Chains A and B, each alone.
Chain A
């Protein structure tokens, strides 16, 4: 029974990683860059929810929607101002810029809201935990809501990518930017849309993450950001189902190693698994083999 509880909590944590990993993997697939500022967008989103819901007493759903709007604007602006001018630049320049943006967001948050941790009120604090097997297994409302939110978002996103014209355009740009342009796809608009979706999901992930782990500070986004990046690589970067699978597995591995091996070593184990997977399958679990036809 205890194992089941660890497993479910792992899936829940993994769902958050999956939501963040989607932002990494979609941006990588379409813009061919690693947006290391993604984790910090989550942190900003969490602050928005903290102030709107926790301090001002706004309806939690409205607070999350507000946070999604703020993060979308932020993500699109970051792309427009910091990354777009570097579209033709070497990828290393873009990577360094992304790291720069990441620190910029953390420092701005520190100036604005100080580095003192804030105690985040769970967005589902009104809901009761679910009790199963005569109370032997208790699942918190946060856990349930997180998993359900993740599944809904996942299904919606896969549907969007496979069944809408904008989704097809995203796939086309991700495969061959030049050929997509020849079809009349506006690449800049497609990249903006990708950042918008990724950042909106980051806002949701932030609210869910801080509801389960209620300490909010300017560095809150950094570690989950890195782990979600690991999840994206683990599942096969560029692949949406890969990000989902990678995120969930990572959450489970992390939680089970915390429970059965060592709390301190759990992060080390997570990264060790990544190394092993990459040695065995360098493209990640669901990563596509790059076929180069000459």
Chain B
């Protein structure tokens, strides 16, 4: 279990706002690691920086032994590092099928392999199969989240970044989404999960980092953090 992703002392600015301050963390191959924190802590900014949508002021991000922090986003995805962005961001004018096809945009391994992954995604997310010819904009929030995840899986990722997959969903759907994340991980995909729902995230993760106003405040085994008194107070709503 080597280090798959290592984020080393990164700093990110929005104009003059110092959004991410000297953040370091790593994800080992096969793990589920979660990054928890309140609104505005810098979780999404960190995700965007990893995928190359935001440039670093300083620091470095390595993935599978390569420095990716100066790469363009469309090259990073080709290395098998996919992201399910916050707010799902499915292409509402395209059908479910076309959205999934977009997920496989970078693949050059033939129609058959892609068809296999269509089957895999439809197996994992049967609701999408029923709605494959419907425009994505007509799906419910939960279905859109599943589509966003299916779309990311279509590129055959080695590692999946998930940004707030449970946002705005009913408790039942949240459970379903987390079940799927676990399943994806068991199928061999390393997961970095950003969540405000710290309780659920800590339940499925191996390790966790707590992000507060742009810096890592705590880190450790997920079970350990779930029992930590400060984490319980601040993020789990326990006294």
Contacts and interface: CB of A to CB of B under 8 A. Distances in A.
Contacts of B53: 178, 181-182
A171 B152 CA distance: 18
Interface string B76-90: 011000110101011
B83 A182 contact: yes
A171 B106 contact: no
Contact of B74 (A168, A184, A288): A184
A186 B72 CA distance: 9
Contacts of B152: 182
B156 to A, nearest CB: 12
A105 B78 CA distance: 40
A45 to B, nearest CB: 31
A182 B73 contact: yes
Interface in A141-165: 165
A183 B104 CA distance: 8
A182 B51 contact: yes
A interface majority secondary structure:
helix
Contact of B89 (A169, A171, A176, A291): A176
B43 interface: no
The 4 A-B pairs at the shortest CB distance, nearest first, are namely A184-B106, A184-B77, A179-B89, A181-B73
A273 B1 CA distance: 67
Given A178-B89, A183-B105, 5 more contacts: A168-B101, A171-B91, A182-B152, A183-B102, A183-B155
Contacts of A181: 51-53, 73-74
Nearest to B137: A291
A256 interface: no
A181 B51 CA distance: 9
B223 interface: no
21 contacts: A168-B94, A168-B98, A168-B102, A169-B102, A169-B105, A171-B93, A172-B91, A175-B93, A175-B94, A179-B90, A180-B102, A181-B73, A182-B83, A183-B77, A183-B102, A183-B103, A184-B74, A184-B105, A184-B155, A186-B74, A293-B87
B151 interface: yes
Interface of B: 51-53, 72-74, 77-78, 82-83, 85, 87, 89-94, 98, 101-103, 105-106, 137, 151-152, 155
B186 to A, nearest CB: 24
A109 interface: no
A185 interface: yes
Nearest to B155: A184
A200 B52 CA distance: 33
Contacts of B82: 182
A179 B78 CA distance: 15
B168 to A, nearest CB: 9
Contact of A179 (B74, B85, B137, B155): B85
Q: Which of B83, B87, B89, B105 has the most CB of A within 10 A?
A: B105
Q: Which of A171, A184, A185, A288 has the most CB of B within 10 A?
A: A184
Nearest to A186: B74
B78 A184 contact: yes
Q: Which of A168, A169, A187 has the most CB of B within 10 A?
A: A168
A185 B137 contact: no
Contacts of B83: 182
Contacts of B90: 179
Nearest to A187: B74
A53 B155 CA distance: 49
B12 to A, nearest CB: 15
Interface in A220-236: none
B99 to A, nearest CB: 9
Given A168-B101, A168-B102, A176-B89, A185 B94 contact: no
